[in-house]
Each structure stands twice: as structure tokens, then as C-alpha cells.
Amino acid sequence: MDDVVNNNSQRMDMIRRSSFPEDFVFGTASSAYQYEGDVFKDGKGPSTWDAYTHQHPERIADHSNGDIAVDEYHRYKEDVALMKSIGFGVYRFSIARTRILPLGKLSGGVNKDGIEYYHNLIDELLANGIKPYVTLFHWDVPEALEIEYGGFLNRQIVEHFQEFAELCFKEFGKKVKHWITLNEQFIFTFKSYVIGEYAVGRGAEWDKSHFLGGNSGTEPYTVGHNLILAHAAAVNVYQTKYQEDQKGEIGITLESTWYVPYSDSEADKKARDRAFDFSLGWFLNPIVYGDYPQSMRDLVGRRLPTFTKDETTFIMNSFDFLGINYYTANYAKDNPSDIHPAQSYLNDIHATLSTDCDGISIGPKVSSSSWLAVYPHGLKELLIYIKEKYNDPVIYITENGYLDYDSPNVDELLRDERRVKYFHDHLYYLYEAIEAGVKVRGYFAWSLLDNFEWANGYSMRFGLTYVDFKNDLTRTQKDSAKWFLNFLTT
């Protein structure tokens, strides 16, 4: 047994860039609201996150916002140089819709300053040998459309998202060869319309002291349905009008935790299956097989929208690749009882999800309260699960990263040994997944810089680079950035 452990340890120690295929890409990921700043200047319109953080600062851990963020809007050349110095060859970023369409739709006018900014960023990347991977929606819904008709609660959003996507294809498609329609629809839907933690803070109608309106038994499913249709609409216009000439590819990024049954009981194994169905499967099953998982149909019933025959054809196979964001693993335990007093997604799933089993975490955590338990083996298991269940798609790991909580001890944050181990171990199991036949084409670390982490504000740091938010946003590479430089050159 000791020989097996030692051999495995030796193999893990040998993981390096040369272990991966020559055309495999490595880079970092970001999003517009978390990075850009400059939110009310140069013609940009407000997003739901602008409105949410200003109207409800108490809902952000440190009462902060993304008004300045890490100021990539002005410092993009500095950040591109940083990427290049580490050795990254790709960069995933999102386009802030209201930076180029201030009111969220073409009839509201196009902001030329916003168009120019993204051209400049893309050109700077290409000039430095870094390929852009562009996400069209990373949670920043135009506030004008939220006010006008409720954003993704309304079917009108599908048409307006399609016209925004087409504008991006027209403007940037000759330079951008990799498009991602949406980022983590499950997290967006769950956090914004079930537990009310993210903009727009909606959830259970019975608790008006916590939620800003909503109905967690119906709204998440409506929003999820419109997200799927919006994705398919963007893919359709790209594949039918632009792909042949521009010779790019388009996909979608989904988030998934790896789920482990709480016990060996059949009930807990079925709870594990439901956990997948009500998160990853909710958004992946329709675009592979044309409908929601059967467990969702059975448990949600008439509250779950249906696809017409034409829509089923429209959404199926609407991707050239999948982006997968993976951070952690959870135990899934059967819970047949309703835990809320009215219809809710939280009741529908009939499962309790947790990092802990009998008080023991599934993996190491930076603190006992952290949601991120380190479980690198889960990445391999998840990729094999997707390969086997969803027709062996081409996959990019579009996010994977480790958090530290902010601390006055800057030296400790810079000497981020646990982040180094996190990346190393996940890359090892990614390598094993490729060896097992999973068609993984790239890996994006979250994230190049410490940034605005949604409801956690700046209290949580994911960066390879330390950002001094009290001293002109000075960037200082952490040990993890130096580790990646060594990894990428061996």
C-alpha cells in the first residue's frame, strides 16, 4: 500500500506544462464587473450590480462595490503585461453589455467609447501573443431592462441578448475566435432568485425582511428557461451568419460541484443524482438532450416551463464546446421533508448539501466557515461523469481557484502555499482526466488579480496577484504566480 501511495505522490510531483498536449491552452479568467471599474463614465449604462451595490450596500460583506474594482479599464496594458510575464497564452474576460449598449438594447443606442475599449483590450492581448476568450454574460444584467420588464424573468430578454451577441460578433469576431455565451447560469439563478444573495436579491416571498421580492418556487425556473433560450439564440446567429467566415467556435460555461453521497444508502445516492440534476443537469441536459432532467420534471411539475418542439430542436447541440467551472465538492444527503413553508427550489431538490459529513470536511478549508473544501480528485470524477453522461463534449476548464480571506498580514497572503498546492493538485487530476479520454482543451485559473468577489466584496481574495486596495491598486505577484511561471516553462 505504501508503494502505491509513494508512486502516486511521485507522479503528482512530476506534473508540468509538458505533461499536457502541445495545443492545450493555459490562462486566467475574469469578469467585467469584478475587474473593469469606471462604471459610470465614458457612456456606460448601469447594470443590476451597479444598482444593487449602491442601493443595498449592507448586502455586501464590506459594503463595497465595483465602481473602481481593479481598474482594468485604465490598466489593461499593465495587466496584459502581467499575464505575459507569467506565461499565459489565453485570457477569458467578459464584455459589459451596458458599456456598449447603455440601455441594454440596440434601440437605446451604441456607445462607441465602449466598443473602442474592447477593441483596444483585444488588440493588446493579440499583440502580446494572448488569445481572447470572450464571455457575453457574466451576471451584469442591464438595469434598464430590469426596470423595463424584469430582466431574465421576461422572455423579451432572449431577443435583446441575441442582438447584443450579434453586435459583438460583428465588431470583434474577426479577432475573437472563442466565444462563451453565459457564465454559470446555475449560480446566477440560485444566488439571485432562490437565496437572494446576489443582485437582484430575490427569493422567498414569505421573508420580506431578507429578500427584495420574488418567489423561489417559480422564478428560478423561469429565469433558467430564458437563459437557455438566450444562449441558443446567440449560438444560432453565430453559427448561421458568422462562424463560416470568422472561423471561430462558441460554447457555454457551466458550474458544477462534485457531489458525493452522504452514506452508502440508496436514498443518499439518489440525493447525489438529484444534486447533479438540479444544478449541472438543469442547464446541460436541455442543450444536449432537449429537455430538463426527469427528476426535475417529476419534482417541480407544472412550475417547470416546457420547450416547444421547435425550441427543443433549437436548443439541442447548441455549443461547440463546454466551459466547466470547478472549485469544490459537497456531500449530498436525502431530505424528503420540506425545509421552507412554501414552494421553493430548496424543497424541490429533497437533498441537503454540505462540505461536512458528521462534522468532518470532505477536504481542507481555509477556515471552518468556508464553502470551498479542497477536493481535487472531484475534478477528474466530474469530467469523466460529463464525458459519459453528455456525449463526450470538448471541454475547457474555464475557472478553478482557491480563496484566502483578506488579512493585514500581507506577507502571508503573498506566500500562498495552499493556493499553489490547490493548483498543482487540480492540474494533476486534470491530466489524469485527459489520460482517461476526456477531451479537455484548456485551463483558466481564477483569477489573475484579487478582485470584487460579489457579495463578499473585497474581503475574499482569489488572485495570483495581490492587489493593494488601499494603495493605488498596486499589483504584487504572489508565490502562486511565480509557481505558474515555473510550471509553464517546464
State how beta strands 439-445 and 394-399 pair: parallel
> What pLDDT score does 6 carry?
40
> What pLDDT score does 122 carry?
99
Please, what is the Cα angle at 327 between 469 and 486, to 5 degrees?
70
1 falls within a domain:
no
b/e code 325-353 from CB counts within 10 Å (16+ = b): bbbbbbbbbbbeeeeeeebbbbbbbbbbb
143 noted as active-site residue? no
> What pLDDT score does 208 carry?
74
Q: Residues with Cβ < 8 Å from 97, sequence gap 6 or more?
A: 47, 104, 136, 137, 140, 141, 142, 164
DSSP classification of residue 153? G
Q: In which element (H, E) is residue 83 found?
A: helix 72-86
Of 35, 31, 174, 40, whose CA–CA distance to 95 is shortest?
A: 31
Q: What would the grid cell of residue 351 be?
A: 437533498
Q: Identify whether the C-beta of residue 377 lies closer than 8 Å to the C-beta of residue 398.
A: no
Which residue in the block uniquely carries the three cell numbers 493605488? 472
DSSP classification of residue 453? -
pLDDT, one tens digit per residue, over 35-79 is: 999 999 999 999 999 999 999 999 999 999 999 999 999 999 999
> What pLDDT score does 43 carry?
97
pLDDT, one tens digit per residue, over 83-121 is: 999 999 999 999 999 999 999 999 999 999 999 999 999
> What pLDDT score does 195 carry?
95
Per the structure, the complete domain to which residue 170 belongs is given by 6-489
Residue 277, judged by CB atoms within 10 A of its CB (0-12, 13-18, 19+), counts as buried
What is the residue-averaged pLDDT of the chain?
96
CATH of the domain at 324: 3.20.20.80
What's the mean pLDDT in 239-267?
98
10 pLDDT tier (thresholds 50, 70, 90)? low
3-state SS assignment for residue 442: strand
pLDDT, one tens digit per residue, over 344-357 is: 999 999 999 999 99
Number of domains in the chain: 1
Indicate which residue of 166, 399, 432, 453 is catalytic: 399
Q: Is the pLDDT of residue 30 over 70?
A: yes
pLDDT, one tens digit per residue, over 447-489 is: 999 999 999 999 999 999 999 999 999 999 999 999 999 999 9
Strand partners, 357: 360
- CB 13: neighbour CB atoms within 10 A? 10
399 noted as active-site residue? yes
370 falls within a domain:
yes
Q: Is the pLDDT of residue 9 over 80?
A: no
Indicate which residue of 143, 184, 219, 249 is catalytic: 184
Which residue in the block uniquely carries the three cell numbers 470547478? 326
Helix 112-127 to helix 156-172 angle (10° resolution) is 50
**Amino acid at position 106, single letter:** L
> What pLDDT score does 3 carry?
39
Q: Identify whether the C-beta of residue 384 lies closer than 8 Å to the C-beta of residue 438.
A: yes
Q: Is the pLDDT of residue 1 over 60?
A: no
188 falls within a domain:
yes
Cα separation of 134 and 121, whole Å?
11
What's the residue count for the chain?
A: 490
